[in-house]
Structure 1
Amino acid sequence: MKNFPALILILPVWLLCSMTAFPQEPARIGIEGQRSWIIPHSAELVPISLSRPHGVQLSWEYLPFEKAAWENCNCFYYWGGNMGITDFNNPEVLGKAYYLSGFFEPIIWRNADWQLSLRGAMGITHLTRVFDSDTNPQNTFFSSPLSFLLSVNPRLNYQMGSDWSIHAGIHYNHISNGGQRQPNRGMNFPGIGVGLSHWLMDIQFPVFEKPAFISSFSLILEGYATYKDDPVGAGRLPAFGISADLTRSVSRINHLGIGIESTWDFSIRADGERTYWIPAPSVSHHLTFGKIDFSQRMAVYLSKPEGYQDGRRFYQRYSLSYQFENGFRLGADLKVHGHVAENIGLRTGWRF
């Protein structure tokens, strides 16, 4: 990964070339400055959480106007990629993060000059300083140089003429290795960002009619899986499960649900024996833009092995899924306890 920073520098040329290769979709390039703060998970992390990270991000964005694209979320949306660098302002312990991510950004509201949108991004990051028991024992945020990045970013955009726009927004960022290596506390660092974008062509929004809202029930059956680091050093072991979620739509984009999930985690041991079945009922909220579903679940452990997540009865699971016309769903999820991430995994299933 030594060439990762060099890759970041080369990519702008490739991005500009790729944009000009797709003239059928309106496109723009942007730059954004960011300022953040770190949320400590525990008292021992407070001393290394006092710094204020800052960074810069470049983005390339497409805005499809075809009706088939609009029907993906019953809205107009941006999609594209980000690349950037975050300096954690602690070079000896936390270092820097170089990242690449893809995003999906539905436009929630707009008029002639203003837009309110919500960008969700997922990608990879290269961390220059990670945990080492000898040389960097303080940094229990990161233990793997190559980790995952998740970000949620509501933003307000103002169009200045036909070519330029400015925006400001709030970021909530999370970096974790998804349970692939310990320690895996991960870092949550919210912040603010201000940026400038340049359109490569004129834009004119078409008009499409939204379908009528009808409240209805749905049943979502899914399976999920990941690999986790074995705490006794036996490599990586699987953790997988099944879930059922009964939901009811309360608006075009909001759905509430109740459900249950059962997890079989082979990385958990108790009293020298492998114990791995974990049942948990849950309540859920699904934020749905057409075929895109961002869900949040709050679950309670009915039972769990002794020594596993001591003192914690609840957990959250955040997932982002795409639903095909026939009801098949495919996506990814993140399981967390409060601010502490446990693992990232894949999920697939069916909606009835």
Structure 2
Amino acid sequence: MFILFFGISVHAFSQQSFIERIPDNYYLECRTGYGFLIPHHLELHELQTHFQSFELSVGYLSYGKQKWEYVYDFPRVGLSLWHSNFHNSEIIGDAYALHPYICFPWYGTPASRLTFRLGVGIGYLTKPYDPVTNYKNIAIGSHLNAAINLKLEYQHKLTDRLVVNGGVDFQHFSNGSFKTPNFGLNSPSVSVGFMYHPIKPNRFDRRKVLPELYMYEFDGKKFAYTALTYYMGIKDQSFRNGDKLLATAISVELVKPLNFKHNLGIGIDVAHYFPLSVDGKDQHLTKYGICGAWHMKLWVVSFDFAMGVEVFKPDEIYLGSMYERAAFKYHFDNGFYTYFGLKALYGRADFIMFGVGY
């Protein structure tokens, strides 16, 4: 009986059209843009150019299946592929970026609204700096980079399945000082496009009966908890080979949940840098800092932002460099989480962070 049922099910599925197999509320998006590179350092003026970009995305329009979806007014989430040849630049080459993204509604109705999109992913540049073959590209020193896309866009629904949009974008490439040079590429642009739902999306659902809370979600009680995070990364100090440091750090934060969306916290950071080469054995450095933090929660994922100041060295108290941390956390049911992000000094990349916490 089971074999017969399985055979009938497979046959029935095989008779379905491709469109019928697509899950609910998924969509395809295509857009094009026009922008320019910002010469944010004097040395980068030679790289300045105007260019056209293209972007393809597959995404999901949330409709209330999870609690966070209607708490954030039904955002869109997706995966985007971005490309530009920077007006056939012989110095920079082609750039590709793969961004997972989330698009938050800011103002308006489901039929016509202003949104903000954040995408963070991996970028690939075909012509990074090379001391012999491409010494003019002092913006980027590696093929692989972090890619960040910010987008303020207006969306207007023409039909239940078709949405047109237009907006202002900001695209950034950087390797987080993993390999110098790393001035980075910054490019604002304007873009237009459309989204198409192969299947009519589900209606938005604001459930009156809330789903079960997980241990990393806010339950309405007034409490605070301690979060311990260990992270590490590699920092390249100069154009020379073998001049890299391994950075390891511990962060301890006292976190206060404000509501289902946001947490605030204060913390202490201890970071130690030591050389990866024998020649740099005397370059050990330890930094201590205090910081304030803001966490934005999206179910099992949260965005963490912290800003702090170095407060003392082992032998003296002093007011040192400002530093910033921006990271993503993925939370597990047992309280552990993974940690990935960027640490910066006065807005300039220090190192890319990989870590775990509890």
In which range does the TM-score fall when normalised by the shorter chain?
A: 0.7 to 0.9
Matched residue type, 1:170:
V
Deviation of the 1:200 alpha carbon: 0.9
Relative to structure 1, is the Cα distance of residues 207 and 35 closer, same or farther in structure 2, using a 3 angstrom cutoff?
same
Give the equivalent residue in structure 1 for 2:325.
317
Q: Alpha carbons of 1:40 and 1:215: their partners in 2 closer, same or farther (altered >3 Å)?
A: farther
Deviation at 1:209, TM superposition (A): 4.1
Partner residue in 2 for 1:164: 162
For the pair 1:185 / 2:179, whether they are aligned, the reply is no
Question: CA separation in 1, counterparts of 2:280 and 2:29?
Answer: 54
Match of 2:247 among 232, 239, 244: 239
TM-superposition CA deviations, 1:194-233 (whole Å, max 9, x none): 2211111111222224978666534322111223347563
Identity %: 24
2:342 pairs with one of 328, 334, 342: 334
> 1:41–1:339: 8 Å Cα contact kept in structure 2?
no
C-alpha displacement of 1:161:
1.3
Mapped partners of 2:190, 2:259: distance in 1:
29
Q: Separation in 2 of the partners of 1:332 and 1:62?
A: 24
CA distance in structure 1 between the aligned counterparts of 2:312 and 2:90, rounded to whole angstroms: 41
Q: Is the contact between residue 292 and residue 307 of structure 2 (CA under 8 Å) also seen in structure 1? A: yes
Of 257, 272, 283, the residue aligned with 1:274 is 283
Question: What is the CA-CA distance between 1:93 and the residue it aligns to?
Answer: 2.0
Give the residue type in structure 1 aligned to 2:272.
Answer: W
Q: Does 1:134 align with 2:132?
A: yes
What is the letter of the counterpart of residue 259 of structure 1? G
Q: 1:73 touches 1:291 (CA, 8 Å); kept in 2?
A: no
Residue segments in structure 1 that go unaligned for 5+ positions in a row:
1-18, 306-311
Consecutive unaligned residues in structure 2, runs of 5 or more: 1-17, 211-218, 315-319
AA at the equivalent of 1:327: G
Q: CA RMSD in A?
A: 3.3
SS in 1 for 2:296: strand
Residue 130 of structure 1: SS of its match in structure 2? coil
Q: CA deviation at 1:29?
A: 0.7
Q: TM-score, normalised by structure 2?
A: 0.78
Counterpart in 2 of 1:261? Answer: 269
- Determine helix, strand or coil for the equivalent of 1:124: strand
* Alignment partner, residue 206 of structure 1: 205
Report what 2:304 is aligned to.
295
Indicate the SS of the match to 2:311: coil
Residue identity opposite 1:276 in structure 2? L
- Is it true that 1:284 corresponds to 2:283 in the alignment? no
- Which 10-residue stretch deviates more, 54-63 or 241-250? 241-250
User: 1:264-318 CA deviation, whole Å, 9 max, x = no partner?
Assistant: 222389996131322121122223334332222212223579xxxxxx8112211
Shift of 1:174: 2.0
User: How is 1:42-53 mapped onto 2 (pairs within 5 angstroms)?
Assistant: 42-48=41-47, 50-53=48-51
In the other structure, the counterpart of 1:223 is 230
SS at 2:179's partner residue? coil
Q: Which has the larger radius of gyration?
A: 2
TM-score by length of 1: 0.79
Aligned partner of 1:333: which letter?
A: G
Paired position in structure 2 for 1:14: none
Query: What is the number of equivalent residue pairs in this alignment?
Result: 325
Question: Which of 47, 53, 56 is the aligned partner of 1:55?
Answer: 53
